[in-house]
């Protein structure tokens, strides 16, 4: 055999080239029951109770990926309608809405475009519509010239997403939204949380500061009791340092649960604003009162505006507390004061 023949044979028997996977890091969120792996060049910008923010490198400018735990139990159509309205208020143009199936559950996508500092940008918002109380909400934003690359890199990472329980995800059931988050070690039953009785919940508070009897449209009469920090001065209700109006009433004719009512009402509230700068939803009920609430802070035609609505109760009659203020600059103070006030309300049939 010629020398050339030996060279060709040797070439045929060479081992295939060794390929190495790029180094990655695992991201785990037990409340969301998921994990994924991302490249090491993803820079962690911020991580706190509310969100995790990554910077994703791209040739035409970095992209920012924000991961948020959110709660949503209503229909997908309601979510997508809210996203369109949110884009309108933020002066973004909705380009496309679609769904993508991931391990048994849909991701509800909304792509929008806008301009920031003279730079055209894209923003992709997605809700992983799993049967889990806490759901993954993400925002992927980048310069328009970098969006295709940023989206490709994000999709590569999303393909590594897995549930911590080892099973596929299930889509949410809006007719019976789940009330729990799974624990990978021991999954709790998907039941309504144990209710704290009015007697147990307010025993240590002593006698209420004041009470009011309210008539419902259904004809029933209810007693609402208030403890400190609530105050009643010249027939004007308030609490803590809150400066604004507080309206307390009983509404009738409910058929949906409070979580769904909060979702639909918060979407309708957006019509009051020209611009919304902050959205906050407290969907886990307060332990003593059972109140859930949402807050919207932004601007209307008259200037800064804070709106908050809370609901409690069961059956066809519910307690509704509505708050409005023009002092919209200090959400932290308001949230702290109202969280305390929300634990010190009792709603029950009048004796």
Q: Are 139 and 29 found together in one domain? A: yes
Same domain, 286 and 207: yes
Kindly write down the DSSP assignment for every residue of 233-295, as one continuous string: ETTEEEETT--SEEEEEEE----S-HHHHHHHHHHHHGGG-SEEEEEEEE-SPPTTT--EEEE
Nearest to 135 by CA among 198, 180, 80: 180
pTM greater than 0.85 (yes/no): no
- Residue 190 counted as domain residue: no
Enclosing domain of residue 47 = 24-163
Q: Tell me: the pLDDT tens digits for 105-163?
A: 999 999 999 998 899 999 999 999 998 888 889 999 999 999 999 999 999 998 898 98
Which burial class, exposed, middle or buried, applies to 226 when counting CB atoms under 10 A from its CB (0-12, 13-18, 19+)?
buried
CB neighbour burial string for 318-337, b if at least 16 within 10 angstroms, e if fewer: bbbbbbebeebeeeeebbeb
- Specify whether 251 is located in the same domain as 297: yes
Is 180 contained in some domain? no
Tell me what pLDDT residue 9 has: 43
CATH number at residue 63: 3.40.1000.10
Q: What's the number of domains the chain is made of?
A: 2
State pLDDT tens for residues 236-285.
Answer: 899 988 888 999 999 988 766 777 777 778 877 877 888 887 877 777 77
Same domain, 125 and 220: no
């Amino acid at each position: 055999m010629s020398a050339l023949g030996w060279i060709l044979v040797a070439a045929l028997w060479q081992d295939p080239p060794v390929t190495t996977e790029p180094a990655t890091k695992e991201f785990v969120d037990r409340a969301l029951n998921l994990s994924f792996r991302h490249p090491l060049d993803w820079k962690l910008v911020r991580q706190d109770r509310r969100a995790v923010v990554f910077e994703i490198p791209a040739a035409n400018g970095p992209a920012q990926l924000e991961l948020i735990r959110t709660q949503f139990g209503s229909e997908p159509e309601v979510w997508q309608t809210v996203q369109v309205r949110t884009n309108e208020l933020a002066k973004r143009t909705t380009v496309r809405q679609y769904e993508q199936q991931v391990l048994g559950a849909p991701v509800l996508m909304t792509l929008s475009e806008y301009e920031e500092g003279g730079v055209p940008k894209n923003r992709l918002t997605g809700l992983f519509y799993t049967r889990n109380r806490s759901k993954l909400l993400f925002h992927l934003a980048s310069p328009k010239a970098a969006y295709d690359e940023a989206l490709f890199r994000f999709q590569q990472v999303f393909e590594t997403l897995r549930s911590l329980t080892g099973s596929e995800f299930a889509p949410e059931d809006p007719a019976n939204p789940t009330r729990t988050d799974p624990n990978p070690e021991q999954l709790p039953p998907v039941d309504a949380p144990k209710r704290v009785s009015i007697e147990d919940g307010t025993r240590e508070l002593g006698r209420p500061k004041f009470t009011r009897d309210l008539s419902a449209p259904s004809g029933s009469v209810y007693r609402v009791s208030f403890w400190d920090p609530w105050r009643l001065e010249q027939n004007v209700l308030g609490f803590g340092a809150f400066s604004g109006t507080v309206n307390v009433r009983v509404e009738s004719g409910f058929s949906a649960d409070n979580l769904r009512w909060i979702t639909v009402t918060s979407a309708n509230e957006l019509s009051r604003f020209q611009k919304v700068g902050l959205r906050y939803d407290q969907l886990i009920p307060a332990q003593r009162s059972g109140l859930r609430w949402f807050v919207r802070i932004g601007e209307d035609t008259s200037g800064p505006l804070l709106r908050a609505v809370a609901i409690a109760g069961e059956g066809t009659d519910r307690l509704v507390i509505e708050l409005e203020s023009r002092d919209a600059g200090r959400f932290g103070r308001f949230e702290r004061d109202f969280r305390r006030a929300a634990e010190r309300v009792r709603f029950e049939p009048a004796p």
